[in-house]
Structure 1
């Protein structure tokens, strides 16, 4: 059981574990790349795609919550099972990012060409046969699938004698895939539906980003009793995370975000922010219902509607609700405050 109370000490423990997570993931990918490249120089291409994305940085929010759930539940920081679980969570996220960029036709990820763009360019540069864009998308889809397979392998290693971890993992994977599908459908329909948009946000953010990683950590620490508190916290903070994502996409800039800004509008993504605006502002609804809704016009309309200010208030309420959900949870000393601090960090981030 952890006995350290100081916030800095708690973070030092988690940061040390995060370094182990990153080393474990990158060492594994390096070994896999060497193994398959020895078979054929092209065989390691998809592995390099995964490794390059992981090396490029990222917020590591999901493994951070996984480690935090484990430590808050009294897990031993030296337990290797939680390291494997955190690697699995980040590999699942890597898989989703690679696929997302194909779905959204996004050219940039973390300031560099997205995987499908990189391989389409390679196809053109080598004057290979066939359609270059189709080739790039094919390689990216395969890389995303491989990352998912690796994630499953790490999670199986982590589960060990706790098969209930596998159930939580399976549910997390399913929620993500269903959320992705509903996201694609909502973009095609492009009609305001706050209930559906909130469901998508819960599946793709509340559960996949925060709730399930926390739960997996707690189960590995032998504390499945924390499931209810972590679910309530995770759904509230996850919605705040998604709304911040929507605001950043709507009003941010590409250089800061490391991915195209206003892409959700350009791709007609029915975000939770836009759904709420459609429900509350007839001018926004009128713009959306036009056959060719223009991103610039929607952005100006949203600014004029003061929707951003309303969403900021809602985010603040969600962060408070997340902290309240932990009020009666039996957590290790200092961890309620640290989880509230994490809620603030994801809800008020700038990229």
Structure 2
């Protein structure tokens, strides 16, 4: 889509900003273990599809000057936050793979022969990423009021993510839960930091963070995030490692409570996939309707429609 030609270059600017930070951090590494943590964090942060950074730039539009500089930095920060959560999530879920290669904690465990050391390194590497997220914002050349606004947003949505993860972990030991509880944990741990936060930060960067615009962004982000999680829940149960980079059927083996596994008491796997797909489609329809808001700039609407189409392809990839 020609209207979105700017996006790849803007995301690349955010990743270059992040890469530059890692270059300096590696120069100051005072021990082999710190160098290992920085290197692992870099691999996770600079890998992947950069959906969250892309959403920042979608919300910011074709910003220039200081507004573009803010969007570049905010895009780097949200991808760093995401990397931190992934590293911690792999430990929580005891996943040995991330994007087809050993997860940080598992790689260190294999190297040292100690799961304790591996888990400790994984936790600390994720913690380092969280600190770097806020350092990227606080040490940036941006205006202090802008940094304060963005930092407050990131901290608030990060706290909600932790709340969602805690709820998700509680499902492992609580058999008396319903699917709405799973939907709530999905919303807290995925929709808010992966969709709402980047879109709000992009609006802040472009100086369009008025209540009407932020509300319009949230109206798209919430159902889009829920559809994204539905697609992820399907992939976690049936997609091969070549697609997810994680062990096939990991959610089934680990007994995790997801939109799909919660349905397996009454349905076959194929039937459950169909139901979760239908639920995801309903969320996507809601997101598409919300994109029509007059409070969203035209270029942002185009970017959101493109993102919805991408999530839809993910959702239907394993039917």
User: Paired residue for 2:87?
Assistant: 98
User: Paired residue for 1:292?
Assistant: none
Maintained 8 Å contact 1:66/1:217: yes
Structure 1 residues 41 and 249: alpha-carbon distance in aligned structure 2, compared to 1, 3 A threshold: closer
Candidates 223, 237, 248, aligned match of 1:261: 248
1:56-83 per-residue CA deviation (whole Å, 9 max, x = no partner) reads x212111111111111xx6337621111
Q: How does 1:17-32 map to 2 (within 5 A)?
A: 17-32=10-25
Structure 1 residues 49 and 216: alpha-carbon distance in aligned structure 2, compared to 1, 3 A threshold: same
Larger Rg: 1
- Is the aligned partner of 1:48 residue 2:36? no
Q: Which runs of 5+ in 1 are unaligned?
A: 1-6, 125-131, 285-300
User: Paired residue for 2:266?
Assistant: 283
- Is the aligned partner of 1:207 residue 2:195? no
Aligned partners of 1:153, 1:89: CA distance in 2, in Å? Answer: 12
Q: How does 1:121-160 map to 2 (within 5 A)?
A: 121-124=110-113, 132-156=114-138, 157=140, 160=144
TM-score, normalised with respect to structure 1:
0.83
Maintained 8 Å contact 2:195/2:224: yes
Aligned partners of 2:269, 2:104: CA distance in 1, in Å? Answer: 32
1:59-113 per-residue CA deviation (whole Å, 9 max, x = no partner) reads 2111111111111xx6337621111111110011100111111111111111111
User: How many residues were matched structurally?
Assistant: 310
- Is the aligned partner of 1:337 residue 2:319? no
Maintained 8 Å contact 1:215/1:227: yes
Structure 1 residues 212 and 329: alpha-carbon distance in aligned structure 2, compared to 1, 3 A threshold: farther
Candidates 57, 75, 80, aligned match of 2:69: 80
2:18 is paired with a residue whose SS is helix
User: Paired residue for 1:240?
Assistant: 227
1:297-326 per-residue CA deviation (whole Å, 9 max, x = no partner) reads xxxx322xx222222222222112112112
User: Paired residue for 1:186?
Assistant: 171
Superposed CA RMSD in Å reads: 1.9
- Is the aligned partner of 1:68 residue 2:53? no
Q: Which runs of 5+ in 2 are unaligned?
A: none
User: Paired residue for 1:309?
Assistant: 274
By how many angstroms is 1:204 displaced?
1.5
Query: 4+ runs of 1 displaced by more than 4 Å?
Result: none
Aligned partners of 1:234, 1:332: CA distance in 2, in Å? Answer: 15
